Homo-oligomer: A and B are copies of this chain.
């Protein structure tokens, strides 16, 4: 049997995408395995999820600057990923911009999920941005992480229609349902070695 891809998940919040990934990894025949959960604050709900599912986790002090991380914490994340044999880093609601050695060492092996049809509505509060703009469709995007904010090559996107009565909460909830399906699908494609970056376009073997 082929060895599973070892995945590190970085999260800051309740960890619903982490949970979706962990549940997928627990499924029979899934080609990925969560090696470690890394969070940047001890209050992250994701820690509880990891504990319940028997997944190792670690809390890193990434520094006091909101949205940023110290180079030292980046260094230590790489060390723990190397120790664990991590082949893919998944950002899942991680509220800091990755930089330093983690960015350099995992380029092409680090992905993120964003609750909008990128390049529309990058950055924070994407669902609110979509509602405020008045688009009729939004969705979610799994993309490679590069040095920009939500700018890397796109692996998968899913569409969610915006309904006239939507609030930020209702739209976010419907997008989240798609996120929970799309992120495990993307990790599977990565684990199966079917994802190739061609310039900015991502080609997926076996997709038409």
Contact = CB atoms under 8 A, between A and B. Distances in A.
A157 to B, nearest CB: 4
Interface string A129-163: 00111111101000000000000011011010001
How often does this chain occur in the complex, in copies?
A: 2
A176 B146 CA distance: 33
Nearest to A200: B134
A66 interface: no
A149 to B, nearest CB: 15
A135 to B, nearest CB: 6
Contacts of A156: 136
A120 interface: yes
Interface in A155-186: 156-157, 159, 163-165
A179 B4 CA distance: 45
A165 to B, nearest CB: 8
A136 B157 contact: yes
Given A163-B208, A164-B207, A208-B163, A119 B137 contact: no
A203 interface: yes
A201 B166 CA distance: 11
Contacts of A139: 137
Interface of A: 117-120, 131-137, 139, 153-154, 156-157, 159, 163-165, 199-204, 207-208
8 closest Cβ pairs, A-B complex: A134-B201, A136-B157, A134-B200, A120-B120, A134-B154, A134-B153, A137-B157, A159-B159
